[in-house]
Amino acid sequence: MGRLQLGIIGCGVIGSVHARAAAESEQIELVAVADVERELAEKTAAAYGVETVYSDGAALLADARIEAVVLALPACFRIELGLEALRAGKHLLTEKPAARSAAEVRQLIATRGERVAACCSSRFQFMESARVAAEWIGQGKLGALRLLRCRAITPARPAPESPAPAWRLSRELNGGGILANWGCYDLDYLLGICGWCLQPETALAQSWRVPPAFADTVAPESDAETHITGLVRCADGIALTYERGECTAAQAEDSWEVIGEAGSLRLWMTPAEAKEILSFESSRAEGTVRRTLWAGEESFGTVGRALLEDFATAIRTGRPPKTTLTQALLVQRITDALYRSAERGEAVEV
């Protein structure tokens, strides 16, 4: 069927990452790029040999050559463009979070039809370490699952040299703060390696905005959280505990774990030069035995290419992409519930 004819809307930092990945792929031909800042679009086009440049997304979607589109712009702009893309018969890869609410994800699902639609929250599932973890869990090595856990803390840094983007901590523009930005990755990763088996029922959460001492590290109009913690109770006695924080007066920590009756895995989600998966297995004679299940090096470049290759392969073969809109909806339902609970100060249904 030939190379996938792709268009990218949004030529900022992440749009350029997609453009580079498309240029490196033998399955994809980058046909056109678009950005309201035309100079930015032209710069991206020149860097990756793209002939067609548009000043708005609607014009790119009207291009009959384009089979599929990547939406690489803030969440507030993605829902209408996503709906328009699907109505125009284009396959859709949307940046994360999939939308600002579960209601918006449901709109995309209702409009999808036979088109492939995927979310970039799947990025970190494409690494070898994630594959090994998923296979280990899928083989039942941990026994019945009990707890999925994430605690990721980024300490406050010195005052920045340039202002933070307004969308990053905006409920209107991004759907939320640190949970919207990073929670979609954490939840997608943990739910994905566990085979998307969790059925969340209730959530209880607390969130905090940037501490006054670090207010100059965020945009002045920011109204979303920089720190959140929560508990999600699921069917079959499984729980998920979650904490993400930035601009915090706390020690750095990056920890993702899956704990079962017979064993557990301690994971590192993001790419790094030296990574390992630690396995803790129960032994009646020795107690808990620790060993290294996997060790290696992983890069962001590999993740970017794999994401687009998976999208293209899903379109050409008819198999599902790594994270479908239905799976992205589960992530968004949990996200929405954590936000509702934090606002109301009580447990809520997911």
240-278 per-position pLDDT tens digit: 999 999 999 999 999 999 999 999 999 999 999 999 999
> How much is the mean pLDDT over the chain?
96
Q: Specify the higher pLDDT residue, 174 or 163.
A: 174
Of all residues in the chain, what percent carry a pLDDT higher than 70? 100
Judged against a pLDDT cut of 90, whether residue 64 lies above it is answered with: yes
Amino acid code (one letter) for 84: E
Contact by Cβ (8 Å): 252, 151: no
Residue 127's nearest CA partner among 293, 297, 256 is 297
- For residues 125 and 134, what is the distance between their CA atoms, to the nearest angstrom? 9
Mean pLDDT of 12-25: 95
Assess whether the previous peptide bond of 155 is cis (omega < 30° from 0): no
Return the pLDDT at 161.
79
Helix axis angle, 184-193 to 325-344, nearest 10°? 120
Predicted pLDDT at 164: 82
Rounded CA gap, 159 and 161, in Å? 7
Determine the distance from the C-alpha atom of residue 342 to the mean position of all C-alpha atoms in its chain, rounded to a whole number: 21
Of 125, 126, 132, the closest CA to residue 293 belongs to 132
1 has a pLDDT exceeding 80 = no
Of 213-217, 222-226, 239-243, the least confident: 213-217
Determine the average pLDDT of the residues in 318-343.
Answer: 98
Nearest alpha carbon to residue 84 among 66, 102, 101: 66
C-alpha to C-alpha distance for 304 and 159, rounded to whole angstroms: 30
Instruction: Identify residue 240 by its one-letter amino acid code.
Output: L
Q: Per-residue pLDDT for 109 more than 90? A: yes
Q: Is the Cβ–Cβ distance between 72 and 171 less than 8 Å?
A: no
Helix, strand and coil in the chain, % to nearest 5: 40, 30, 30
Please tell me which residue, 93 or 283, carries the higher pLDDT value.
Answer: 93
pLDDT value of residue 183: 97
Per-residue pLDDT, 270: 95
The pLDDT assigned to 158 comes to 86
In this prediction, residue 163 has a pLDDT band, given cuts at 50, 70 and 90, of confident
Per-residue pLDDT, averaged over 186-213, amounts to 97
Three-state DSSP class for residue 69: strand
CA distances in angstroms from 63 to 5, 53, 154, 327, listed in the order given: 11, 11, 43, 29
Instruction: For each of the domains in the chain, give its residue range(s) and CATH number, in order of start.
Output: 4-122+304-322 (3.40.50.720), 124-298+331-349 (3.30.360.10)
The reported pLDDT for the residue numbered 231 is 98
User: What number is the average pLDDT over the span 48-70?
Assistant: 97
Residue 38 CA: distances (Å) to CA of 9, 10, 21, 345? 11, 10, 21, 45
Cβ partners under 8 Å of residue 220, min gap 6 = none
Cα-based torsion angle of the residue sequence 94, 97, 102, 104 in order, rounded to the nearest 10 degrees = -40
Arithmetic mean of pLDDT, 47-75 = 97
* Residue among 108, 78, 245 at smallest CA distance from 175: 78
Q: What pLDDT, on a 0 to 100 scale, did the predictor assign at position 157?
A: 87
Q: Which two tokens stand for residue 53?
A: 């440049």
Sign of the dihedral defined by the CA atoms of residues 245, 17, 74, 189, in that order: negative
pLDDT at 313: 97
* Residue 65 CB coordination number (10 Å): 10
Is the separation of the CB atoms in 233 and 147 below 8 Å? no
Report pLDDT for 178. 97
- Are the C-beta atoms of residues 208 and 228 closer than 8 Å to each other? yes
Average pLDDT over every residue of 37-65: 97
